[in-house]
Amino acid sequence: MGDGGSEVWQVALVEDHLLQRRRTEEILGRESGLVVVASCSTLPEFLAWVQRAPVSSRPQLLVLDLSVDRGPSVDPDVVARLVDAGLRILVLSALASPALVRAVIKAGVAGIVGKRDSEQDVVDAVWTVLRRGEWMTPDLAAVIASDADRPQLSDQEERALVLYASGLTLGAVAEALGVKPESAKTYIGRVKAKYAAAGRPVRSKVELSRIAVDDGYVGHV
């Protein structure tokens, strides 16, 4: 349900998966007092739209996915600039990269919703953030805050780990990242080396998948 007032809030979406984006548009569009004014597949696409849009069409809230299947993840510095400009941001993401989530929290996003959360959670989070509150479930907070024995991975290493641990072959990982198979193999090798250096050696893909689940990079596979 909406907030019961007469004020209309304008919301923009950034989500690279079309079906997910359309479904989010649908559930927010049902809310009295909410209007989706922009629906984009990437953050650069949204930024280009904002530059063209009249002031009256600009949103008070951006619902933002952090990662795309092809291309770089969201830049926390760009997020910080948007927050500084007065835009409220709610992250709606699979949370494949806890490190990236922590970075955008530092950049000033007001809420985090996981894609495994309920549609009602998404709606409640939107209204909470619009009212200048903050939103994060205890389970998400635990995943994001937990750093014990977790090595620091680069953005590409994290993305390779997520894709590989989710069941993709090295060739498919390389294609998703837009790199050569040798590079994907190197990323996975670096991940294994970093875990070994942290006292958590990984000897097989099954073990790598298990450790990715334990550290919050992927859901249970």
What the chain holds in terms of domains, given with CATH numbers, is 9-145 (3.40.50.2300), 155-214 (1.10.10)
Which DSSP string corresponds to 184-209?
HHHHHHHHHHHHHHTT----SHHHHH
pLDDT at 4: 46
Q: What's the farthest any 2 CA atoms get from each other in the chain?
A: 59
Query: Under a CB-based contact definition with an 8 Å cutoff, are residues 110 and 129 in contact?
Result: yes
Residues 6 or more apart in contact with residue 178 via CB below 8 angstroms: 70, 71
Looking at residue 215, what is its pLDDT? 79
pLDDT at 5: 53
pLDDT at 146: 60
pLDDT, residue 103, reads 81
Distance CA 79, CA 9 (A): 20
* CB neighbourhood size of 71 (10 A): 13
Q: Are 149 and 198 in contact (CB under 8 A)?
A: yes
Q: Is the pTM of the predicted complex or chain greater than 0.75?
A: no
What tokens does 136 get? 């994060």
pLDDT for res 110: 94
What pLDDT sits at residue 145?
Answer: 63
Instruction: For the chain of 221 residues, list the mean pLDDT of each consecutive stretch of 10.
Output: 67 94 95 96 95 94 82 84 96 76 87 88 96 82 63 89 93 94 95 90 91 75 48
